[in-house]
């Protein structure tokens, strides 16, 4: 068992406790008179301005995936892991076109979730249920990735034992993190991660600014770093500084598929709808690319770990181990805290978003149709705890050595909601039954294809790339499933319109998608389904 790095652990615990206290105190931040509603607990009162939204979205989107999984992928496979950088560049022009429209119609009708919008737009509870179930399912492996990040830094500090340790002791850090996260999320709702995001982003920018200068100086410069990485990949005949011929298709499909999927996730939409105007959303799409710059620099840490001679069986430990080896103990503790807090913030938002989906689109639509706002909030709080339990199941049962697959697996599923959500924001042409059939085909194909991918350590769900039929190259399963989804949707829409199948009632109007209520009246929203259309 590894010796405990006491200094680093003390610094880590200090920051961890500080943000935990902030999480509980956040319940009183921007406190409203009516606290017992999902608008308050789950969306922070829809009152966040540009900077709070920027930090919240940054804390929401740039996670332990950013700090641990992406550099670990580059440490193991080389430049192929950089797919995360172009996809975060591609995504912002994309969301500039549709997020303001989603904000406007959601503000007009009091929609809390994407499923609320889908139900209102297409008049289909079945399609709404499909979107809600998909969102919950896709969120759990993403939360699991955050818990893996926390476990990685604790393992490097010598807390929790090694692979031969009893399972309870080894996974105790995850259980502790679960308890802390669950407690302050239950208490404060979205305000907790919104407030903590300021600390998280400040720490991450501080750590990366130091790391990108200090570590290369100690290693002899970037020339030496790239040379060492190239030597390793050449010797192992795996990966490389440039993706090979087949790998280029994987790279392109992963980048495109991930870009299309990112803002389909419930947590991305929850952070978006918490803002107070559509102009806040537009401004954020122009300044969020600053995080993409940070992501590119963070990804280089994978090459630095190779040059520093880091040897780990679990690639997720590479960057935490790099920090411990290269930094003084006290600053290593700061870096570990950045990773740990960088995992807590998005995990909190994700659990809230998934809970909102269950409450509004399963509990209220199918179980208790007359649920009061207070009952909705209570159910959402309880479900946010259950979602974290589901995430723990993913962590404890799946191979954690390639944790980036947690995110890619969730992406396969959530991408199948794109036609209903984004398509619905611009056109009513798609038929609701066709959208449901397309979603089903994409989900079934994507899940089976991902299940059949294996690794040496794991029989199934070992990865998210597979042979694309008819092309013969390696590609992202999620994008293939998405193409099948769209094809089925379009063909069936023609058929269903030809036979005049009932289309459902659209409760929205064209003006709803462009209106901006400004800063006023954000707390006085109509209930879902209570619009005048």
| CATH number of the CATH domain containing 110 | 1.20.1730.10
pLDDT of residue 194: 77
pLDDT exceeds cutoff 70 at 71:
yes
In 3D, which of 374, 497, 483, 343 has the Cα closest to residue 427?
497
- Asked whether the CA dihedral 215, 221, 223, 228 is positive or negative, the reply is negative
- 60-69, 366-375, 483-492: the lowest-pLDDT one: 60-69
Please report whether residue 33 resides in a domain.
yes
- Residue 402 CA, chain-centre distance (Å), reads 16
Write the pLDDT tens digit of every residue in 141-194.
Answer: 778 777 777 877 888 887 765 555 544 556 666 677 667 777 777 777 777 777
DSSP 483-531: HHHHHHHHHHHHHHHHTT---------GGGGT---TTTTTT-PPPTT-S
Residue 494, class by beta-carbon neighbours within 10 Å (0-12 exposed, 13-18 middle, 19+ buried)?
Answer: exposed
pLDDT of residue 417: 94
The residue-averaged pLDDT of 230-241 equals 78
pLDDT exceeds cutoff 90 at 294:
no
The residue-averaged pLDDT of 445-472 equals 58
Whether 101 and 508 have beta carbons less than 8 Å apart is answered as no
Q: How many CA atoms lie within 13 A of 472 on its CB side?
A: 1
pLDDT of residue 457: 52
Does residue 2 or residue 308 have the better pLDDT? 308
Residue 189, class by beta-carbon neighbours within 10 Å (0-12 exposed, 13-18 middle, 19+ buried)?
Answer: buried
Please report whether residue 125 resides in a domain.
yes
Write the pLDDT tens digit of every residue in 239-291.
Answer: 677 776 667 777 788 888 888 988 888 888 887 888 888 888 888 888 888 87
pLDDT of residue 21: 83
Does residue 2 or residue 514 have the better pLDDT? 514
428-to-118, 124, 416, 421 alpha-carbon distances in Å: 11, 13, 18, 11
- Name the average pLDDT for the chain: 79
pLDDT of residue 162: 54
Write the pLDDT tens digit of every residue in 468-486.
Answer: 333 334 578 888 899 999 9
**CA–CA separation, 186 and 200 (whole Å):** 20
Write the pLDDT tens digit of every residue in 184-213.
Answer: 777 777 777 777 888 888 888 888 889 999
pLDDT of residue 173: 62
Where is 466: in which H helix or E strand? strand 465-467
The residue-averaged pLDDT of 486-510 equals 92
The residue-averaged pLDDT of 428-433 equals 93
Does residue 22 or residue 454 have the better pLDDT? 22
pLDDT of residue 119: 92
pLDDT exceeds cutoff 60 at 465:
no
For residue 275, list its beta bridge partners.
Answer: 48
The residue-averaged pLDDT of 379-406 equals 70
pLDDT of residue 186: 73
Write the pLDDT tens digit of every residue in 319-365.
Answer: 888 998 899 989 988 988 888 887 877 888 888 888 888 888 898 88
pLDDT exceeds cutoff 60 at 310:
yes
Write the pLDDT tens digit of every residue in 39-65.
Answer: 677 666 676 777 777 777 776 677 766
Please report whether residue 459 resides in a domain.
no
pLDDT exceeds cutoff 50 at 531:
no
Angle CA 370–375–381, to nearest 5: 140
pLDDT of residue 475: 75
- 111-115, 118-122, 230-234: the lowest-pLDDT one: 230-234
Inter-helix orientation angle 84-109/278-287, to 10°: 170
How many domains does the chain fold into?
1
Domain limits at 134?
Answer: 6-405
The residue-averaged pLDDT of 376-380 equals 83
Please report whether residue 530 resides in a domain.
no
Please report whether residue 449 resides in a domain.
no
Of 296-310, 353-367, 431-445, which has the strongest mean pLDDT? 431-445
Please report whether residue 310 resides in a domain.
yes
Please report whether residue 258 resides in a domain.
yes
Please report whether residue 438 resides in a domain.
no
pLDDT of residue 518: 47
């Amino acid at each position: 068992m590894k010796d405990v790095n006491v200094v680093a652990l003390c610094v880590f615990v200090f920051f961890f406790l500080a943000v935990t206290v902030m999480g509980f105190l956040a319940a009183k931040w921007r406190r409203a008179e009516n606290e017992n509603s999902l608008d308050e607990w789950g969306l922070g009162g829809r009152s966040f301005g540009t900077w709070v939204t920027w930090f919240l979205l940054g804390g929401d989107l740039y996670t332990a995936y950013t700090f641990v999984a992406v550099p670990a992928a580059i440490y193991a496979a080389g430049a192929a892991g950089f797919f995360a950088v172009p996809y975060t560049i591609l995504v912002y022009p994309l969301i500039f076109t549709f997020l303001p429209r989603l904000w406007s119609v959601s503000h007009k009708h009091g929609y809390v979730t994407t499923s609320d919008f889908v139900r209102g737009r297409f008049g289909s509870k079945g399609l709404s249920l499909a979107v809600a179930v998909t969102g919950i399912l896709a969120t759990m492996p993403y939360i699991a990735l955050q818990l893996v990040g926390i476990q990685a830094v604790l393992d490097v500090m010598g807390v929790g034992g090694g692979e031969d340790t009893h399972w309870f002791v080894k996974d105790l850090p995850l259980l502790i993190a679960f308890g802390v996260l669950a407690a302050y999320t239950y208490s404060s709702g979205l305000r907790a991660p919104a407030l903590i995001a300021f600390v998280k982003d400040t720490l991450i920018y501080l750590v990366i600014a130091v790391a990108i200068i200090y570590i290369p100086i100690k290693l002899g410069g970037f020339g030496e770093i790239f040379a060492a990485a190239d030597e390793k990949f050449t010797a192992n005949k795996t990966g490389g500084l440039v993706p090979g011929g087949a790998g280029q298709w994987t790279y392109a499909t992963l980048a495109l598929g991930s870009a299309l999927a990112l803002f389909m996730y419930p947590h991305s939409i929850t952070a978006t709808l918490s803002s107070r105007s559509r102009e806040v959303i537009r401004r954020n799409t122009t300044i969020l690319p600053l995080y993409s710059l940070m992501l590119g620099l963070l990804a280089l840490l994978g090459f630095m770990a190779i040059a520093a001679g880091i040897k780990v069986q679990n690639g997720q430990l590479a960057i935490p181990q790099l920090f411990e080896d290269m930094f003084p103990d006290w600053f290593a503790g700061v870096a570990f805290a950045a990773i740990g807090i960088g995992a807590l913030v998005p995990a909190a938002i994700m659990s809230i978003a998934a809970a909102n989906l269950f409450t509004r689109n399963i509990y209220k639509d199918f179980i208790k149709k007359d649920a009061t706002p207070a009952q909705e909030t209570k159910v959402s709080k309880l479900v946010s705890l259950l979602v974290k339990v589901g995430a723990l199941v993913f962590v404890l049962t799946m191979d954690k050595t390639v944790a980036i697959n947690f995110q890619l697996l969730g992406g396969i599923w959530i991408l199948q909601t794109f036609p209903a959500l984004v398509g619905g924001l611009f056109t009513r042409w798609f038929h609701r039954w066709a959208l449901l059939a397309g979603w089903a085909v994409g989900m079934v194909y994507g899940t089976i294809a991902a299940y059949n991918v294996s690794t040496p350590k794991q029989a199934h769900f070992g990865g998210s790339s597979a042979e694309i039929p008819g092309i013969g190259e390696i590609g992202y399963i999620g994008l293939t499933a998405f193409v099948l989804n769209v094809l089925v949707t379009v063909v069936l829409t023609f058929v269903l319109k030809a036979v005049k199948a009932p289309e459902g009632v659209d409760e929205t109007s064209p003006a709803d998608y462009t209106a901006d209520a400004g800063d006023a009246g954000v707390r006085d929203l109509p209930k879902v389904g209570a619009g005048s259309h």
